[in-house]
Structure 1
Amino acid sequence: MKCKAPITFLFILLSFSCKDDTEITPPEPEVILTDNVLVYDSEKIHDHLSLLVKSGRTTSLLVDKQGNTLYEWNFETNLGNDFELLPDGKSIGMFKRSDPVVNFGGYGGVVKIFDEAGTEAWSYDYVNGNDIGHHDVEMLPNGNVIFLVWEEIDAAEVQAAGVDFDSNVYVETLIEVNPNTNQVEWEWRSWDHIVQEHDSNAPNYGAISDNPQRININYNLKPSGDFMHANGLSYDAVKDVVYISVNFFSEVWAVDHSTTINEASSNSGGNYNKGGDLLYRFGNPMAYNNSSGTRTFYSNHFPNLLKNGVPGAGNMLIYGNSGPDGLQQSTVYEMRLPEPYSLLPNTNNEPTTVWSFTDEELHFVRISGADRLGNGNTLICEGDFGMWEVTPDGDVVWKYESEPSSWRAYGYEFGSPAVKHLGL
């Protein structure tokens, strides 16, 4: 005799014997975005923190990808412009003097270092007559601090040097200071490396096109006397070279940092035996009457030499503020610099552009910059808008809107020493 199990028993039996091998995936937690975040592609963004440096303000912000401000600095004096976190948890910035004689855009005058707790640990006031520190500052591997200075040259010396100008001018100088002693340990003066065709009886007379290593002091003369208006610097520790973004020349200059102070004022000595003459320059061949090569920059900011650990290490990111023929559109360029440097007369000396990004909505004539993130995306600071993140393919995967004006944005990884010291 066959026995049939009740239907309810069969159901229970099947329920226990027929196991579903499919694992149930819990739902993704809801991402809550602040109103500042206008674009958010969770699959393509790089999850990191962005330091948004507010130009000329008393504050700067560290924000996450959801738009939350995780840390905010409130300074006693206004930035003048740069501020960044250092790997040891300290921070450094250029700040404005309260009584500047020279107050062109980006003026500063005071360099400050803050300890891990955000307490001011060192302050260096650089005003020498009417000379004043400005825009950018960087900590060197040797512990010294290097920054840009406007150096005033009086009208008599200006005219004696063959400059077609009858007032004082302000040219670029680099100053390196030891924070332990407050002593200037190195300097480079652009005034020591000029060339001119205006006055054959004056010093430094020569054909500009034959001397690409020298600076045409009569290029782009401006009524203010601020002819060059450098706005950024970057240090190459491997080559011991300083790169300077020179806005009114629409160029980047490379200067040998291995020289002594005396060698830096000459055209010999140092690792490259060029003294303080320019080792390399790019962005605008017209600045030295070079008929070869194509002009790339029409005002430029932040010569960001990419460090080891990010894609493109050794290349340089540059923010080109505008385009040819008055084009109101900015472009970020990634350039591969020549190895070794090549700077020859009447020759195409321009580097290779290996990547670029532009968008009809991306444009600001001042400040701004770009930084490379760990996954290969690029973080762009558009000075009057805020931040963009774009992929190597040019996809816009994140946009963060902030009140103007933003000097730069730096990317910091979660877990990096600088962030850990903030308790994040």
Structure 2
Amino acid sequence: MKQNYFLGLALFIIATTTFSQENTVGTIIYNPELSDGGYNLIYPHNQSTAFLMDMCGNVVHTWEHGDSLRPANVLYILENTDVITTYRPADNSEDAIWAGGGGASIERRTWDNVPIWSFTRNDSAYRLHHDIQPLANGNVLVTAWEQRDSLECIEAGRNPANLTGDGMWSEVIWEIGPDAYNEGQVVWEWAVWDHLIQDFDSTKSNYGVVADNIHKININFGQTLGAAADWLHINAIDYDPFSQHIMLSVPTFNEIWIVDRGNTTSGELKWRWGNPMAYDRGDSSNTKLGFQHHTHWLDLALDSDNADYGKVGVFNNRVQGDTSEYSTVHTLIPFYDEYENEYAVDAASGTFLPADFDWSFSSPDPNTIYSNIVSSFQRLDNGNSLICSGKSGDTREYTQEGELVWYYKTPLLNQAGMASPVSQGTVLNPFQNLTFRAHRYPADFPAFDGIDFVAGAPIELDPTPIASCLVCDLALELDSISYDSSSANISIIANGSYDLNSIEWINLSDSSVIPYQNELDFTTTQSGDFLITVTDIMGCTTSLVVSVIIDSVDSPSPLAVGLYPNPTTGILNLVLNASSGNALVSIYNMQGQTVFTSNNSNSPNALRFDLGHLNNGAYTIVIQTSTGVATSRILIQK
């Protein structure tokens, strides 16, 4: 007698997730309920890529630069999706002007990294450095070192004892715009050299009483940096279109400056704050800032009705504690009279107001917010603070109450001037993952309209997402079954947000891994329970148990049947092989009573039944078609 076969498939889904509680890089903490959310931009040192990431550290977009280039610290996303990026050559050994923060080029690009226009200045006279500020008219404000030789410095009143043979670097602020040939050109300039005062040598230029000239810059003030000629080291620039004022961070003076760009006193130093000793007022007890970074108006990131609108934010790098140095972040309110275009001065002391910060924040553990260089602070729209301690590539988001709700560690290791991704679990030390700034763009930022962000892999290798970031939507389902001679051919579909990393089939009868079976399709000639387990690149894991029954039946042709999920809470899926034809489905309780029937003429290969009205328990299902009869046991568990 010809031997035919009956094939029954019962499918059981097992979903599991894996995650680490001890991440050391990438996203380490994320509380979606308290975080302001959005997308985070970093442009770390010693490599050539700017990364836009979601809150879980998954990269959603990058802007690449050539391998021979390095960041000139910042990249800004514009509301029309263009970006203004900065870069410099990786090799600076032959550069006439070089110090930390040095730049060379700015470039406007499309979202997809296509250049639009650019400007470069890096020679013996000038070098771009540190920061830029895009303007609404499409132009860009930049900071640049300006070489002044020793004779010029002495004539301007500089104490010769504070000079080297290289003279000193002053500063200029340029507004750069594209010409008809898409080459950047200088369309406006402000130079520190035009606003000097000195009381050292009455025979030289700029002589006067420093304390009586608070709107001028003392050429003999300022701390010495690693590059002796680097006098001012301006490390941040911002622009307020309402007042038409430019804000500058001058860390060697421990001061913030505001310069009139185009109001009634164009070019004048209007306001300065942080260290009145820079203009011979007050003493060390009046010094509020220490080598600060990222001074800026908070307006751009906030709604006009926000309580912080109009305030100034600053990362205060070097605060002297009782036993060690630490960092703080602050907001403050300059007292500005928009009608007179003037900032208030305290009548008694002759120092610019305010007397102190409006708001201050420091970590209870000074080691968690500390960086004596670089770094940034951003006030988010919900009142949270985004703080980047750049020396350690450490970015944290705190609530107003001081609760840590997001923590990200730049997962790059600098070795011999080249930073490369590290594996999750790597412990990085300061200066190994320098990050000049971190910036949060809200999810509704205009540039993101119409952009379908697809979460890619994180920067770090071997990523292990934390629980709140583990979007485990990975799921398996039976796609099709077929019968070929005496074997069952099973095809599985994996659905999820991320690519698969591994696939494994196990024969549960002896718990052995089936060799060479690393695909979603599986063929077997044996009866038994088989477990397929898949894992995606984020570590999400899910499994499906396929119970295969191959029996001899007296039928002219085989019937292949798949049932899932089993157990079920009520919904039962039935998959038939293509040649099955019409199907009569009957379900019986353990007393042999018929509790469900369905006669599916011209039935498709996949059927779906709602058994939610049945009580919990075991049932027998019988499927009759023109090609045979299949019987299996199902379990309802609600």
Instruction: Please indicate the TM-score interval, normalised by the length of the shorter structure.
Output: 0.7 to 0.9
Contact 1:250–1:283 (8 Å) recurs in 2? yes
Residue 375 of structure 2 is matched in structure 1 by 368
Contact 1:321–1:329 (8 Å) recurs in 2? yes
Residue 261 of structure 1 is matched in structure 2 by none
TM-score by length of 2: 0.57
Which residues in structure 2 correspond to 1:147-166 (within 5 Å)? 147-165=142-160, 166=163
Choose 101-110 or 121-130, whichever is displaced more: 121-130
Q: Whose Rg is larger?
A: 2
Residue 85 of structure 1 is matched in structure 2 by 77
Residue 328 of structure 2 is matched in structure 1 by 331
Contact 2:95–2:123 (8 Å) recurs in 1? no
Name the amino acid aligned to 1:305.
Answer: W
Specify whether residues 278 and 31 from structure 1 end up closer, same or farther in structure 2 by C-alpha distance, changes over 3 A only.
farther
Name the amino acid aligned to 1:387.
Answer: T
Specify whether residues 343 and 31 from structure 1 end up closer, same or farther in structure 2 by C-alpha distance, changes over 3 A only.
farther
Specify whether residues 178 and 344 from structure 1 end up closer, same or farther in structure 2 by C-alpha distance, changes over 3 A only.
farther
**Distance across 2 between alignment mates of 1:41 and 1:31:** 18
**Distance across 2 between alignment mates of 1:93 and 1:144:** 13
Identity between Structure 1 and Structure 2 (%): 28
Residue 277 (structure 2) pairs with residue 248 (structure 1): no
Higher relative contact order (CA 8 A, sep 6+): 2
**Distance across 2 between alignment mates of 1:146 and 1:101:** 23
Residue 584 of structure 2 is matched in structure 1 by none
Q: What does the per-residue CA deviation read over 1:136-188, in whole Å, with 9 as the maximum and x for residues that have no partner?
A: 11111121111001001111111111101344110111011222353321100
Specify whether residues 219 and 56 from structure 1 end up closer, same or farther in structure 2 by C-alpha distance, changes over 3 A only.
farther
**Distance across 2 between alignment mates of 1:51 and 1:315:** 23
Which residues in structure 2 correspond to 1:178-257 (within 5 Å)? 178-181=177-180, 182-220=184-222, 222=224, 224-257=228-261
Residue 37 (structure 2) pairs with residue 47 (structure 1): yes
- Give the CA deviation at 1:215: 0.6
Q: What does the per-residue CA deviation read over 1:202-258, in whole Å, with 9 as the maximum and x for residues that have no partner?
A: 111111111110111101253611111000100001000000011111111100110
Q: Going by fraction, where is strand more abundant, 1 or 2?
A: 2
**Distance across 2 between alignment mates of 1:32 and 1:373:** 29
Instruction: Decide which of 33, 40, 47 is 1:57's aligned counterpart.
Output: 47
Residue 381 of structure 1 is matched in structure 2 by 388
Residue 348 of structure 1 is matched in structure 2 by 351
Runs of 5+ in structure 2 lacking a partner?
1-15, 338-342, 413-432, 454-638
**Distance across 2 between alignment mates of 1:321 and 1:305:** 18
Residue 273 (structure 2) pairs with residue 282 (structure 1): yes
Specify whether residues 192 and 327 from structure 1 end up closer, same or farther in structure 2 by C-alpha distance, changes over 3 A only.
farther
Runs of 5+ in structure 1 lacking a partner?
1-28, 259-270
Residue 323 (structure 2) pairs with residue 320 (structure 1): no
**Distance across 2 between alignment mates of 1:407 and 1:385:** 8
- Give the CA deviation at 1:421: 6.4
Residue 511 of structure 2 is matched in structure 1 by none
Q: What does the per-residue CA deviation read over 1:329-359, in whole Å, with 9 as the maximum and x for residues that have no partner?
A: 1111111111221247842324352222111
Please state whether the residue corresponding to 2:232 is helix, strand or coil.
coil
What is the root-mean-square deviation in Å for CA atoms of aligned residues?
2.3
**Distance across 2 between alignment mates of 1:131 and 1:367:** 22
Contact 1:109–1:127 (8 Å) recurs in 2? yes
Choose 143-152 or 368-377, whichever is displaced more: 368-377
- Give the CA deviation at 1:401: 1.0
**Distance across 1 between alignment mates of 2:393 and 2:130:** 20
Residue 460 of structure 2 is matched in structure 1 by none
Q: What does the per-residue CA deviation read over 1:275-299, in whole Å, with 9 as the maximum and x for residues that have no partner?
A: 4231000011121111178211110
Residue 11 of structure 1 is matched in structure 2 by none
**Distance across 1 between alignment mates of 2:346 and 2:198:** 18
Contact 1:279–1:343 (8 Å) recurs in 2? no
**Distance across 1 between alignment mates of 2:96 and 2:55:** 41
Residue 175 of structure 1 is matched in structure 2 by 174
**Distance across 2 between alignment mates of 1:422 and 1:177:** 29
Name the amino acid aligned to 1:234.
Answer: D
Name the amino acid aligned to 1:349.
Answer: F
TM-score by length of 1: 0.84
**Distance across 2 between alignment mates of 1:107 and 1:336:** 31
- Give the CA deviation at 1:318: 0.4
Name the amino acid aligned to 1:136.
Answer: D
Name the amino acid aligned to 1:200.
Answer: S
Q: Going by fraction, where is helix more abundant, 1 or 2?
A: 1
**Distance across 1 between alignment mates of 2:313 and 2:325:** 20
Q: What does the per-residue CA deviation read over 1:81-133, in whole Å, with 9 as the maximum and x for residues that have no partner?
A: 11121111011122114553211111111111111222122111123642111
Specify whether residues 328 and 419 from structure 1 end up closer, same or farther in structure 2 by C-alpha distance, changes over 3 A only.
farther
- List, as ranges, runs of 4+ consecutive aligned residues in structure 1 with deviation greater than 4 Å: 29-35
Residue 9 of structure 2 is matched in structure 1 by none
Specify whether residues 419 and 221 from structure 1 end up closer, same or farther in structure 2 by C-alpha distance, changes over 3 A only.
same
Residue 401 of structure 1 is matched in structure 2 by 409
**Distance across 2 between alignment mates of 1:416 and 1:49:** 9
Instruction: Decide which of 137, 140, 146 is 1:145's aligned counterpart.
Output: 140
